[in-house]
Amino acid sequence: GWAPEPDQLFRTPAGWSDAGRLAPSETLSLTFALRQRNVQRLARLVQQVSSPDSAKYGQFLSLADVQALVAPSPLTLGTVQKWLDRHGVWDCRAVSTMDFLQCQLPAGTAERLLPGAQFHRYRNGTLSSVRSPSPYTLSEELQEHVDFVGGLHRFPAERKVVSRAWASGRMWPRRATRST
């Protein structure tokens, strides 16, 4: 197989714990990022519509225009569709720009589709996420057609608003001198 994300770290964030492997019949949702066309052209276009000294400044594209520009090739769409069909994955929906495909499928099917993946449930208080601690691979035939598969490794990122006065017991954060 081929690993689209060999460098993607898997780490269980603080607060999350492994609650066991999913039963093969449990449904999960995977997001396939399909290879787009004309990315270089898109980059040039962005430069033109965003640069005040360009004649095209402010001439933005509609969603339909973006779709026409970046939508995957018929070959990409067909290859991915055939591969999913072969594994009995039918419940899929594409976004308007056709470059993301979101599919619902049983965990057992997902593990056959993405060799190496093993889906576990992780819990953090009332929150629950399904992720694979082991890397996934894809069929070689998809190397030119899929960028990555979402829903395997990355946990929902937490952002933290700092509350320095409370956290440090200081009321005057800016006046404090740095310890040497």
Taking CB under 8 A as the criterion, which residues in 26-45 touch other proteins?
27-31, 33, 36, 39, 42-43, 45
Among 115, 127, 143, 144, indicate the residue that binds other proteins (CB under 8 A): 127
The reply on whether position 133 binds other proteins by CB under 8 A is no
> CB neighbours of 113 closer than 8 A, spacing ≥ 6?
84, 87, 89, 105
DSSP letter (8 states) at residue 141: G
> Closest separation between CB of residue 69 and other proteins, Å?
8
CB 106 within 8 A of CB 119: no
Q: Give me the 95-124 binding string for other proteins, x by CB under 8 A, dash otherwise.
A: xxx-xx-x-x--------------x-x---
The reply on whether position 130 binds other proteins by CB under 8 A is yes
Report d(CA 13, CA 9) in Å as an integer.
11
The reply on whether position 77 binds other proteins by CB under 8 A is no
Tokens of 71: 């939508």
> Closest separation between CB of residue 86 and other proteins, Å?
21
Report d(CA 146, CA 80) in Å as an integer.
8
The interface with other proteins within residues 1-30 (CB under 8 A) comprises: 4-9, 11, 27-30
CB 10 within 8 A of CB 117: no
Contacting range for other proteins; rule: CB under 8 A; set: 77-85, 90-98, 137-145: 90-98
The interface with other proteins within residues 43-72 (CB under 8 A) comprises: 43, 45-47, 49-53, 58-66, 69-70
Q: Nearest 5 degrees, angle CA 162-CA 166-CA 168?
A: 90
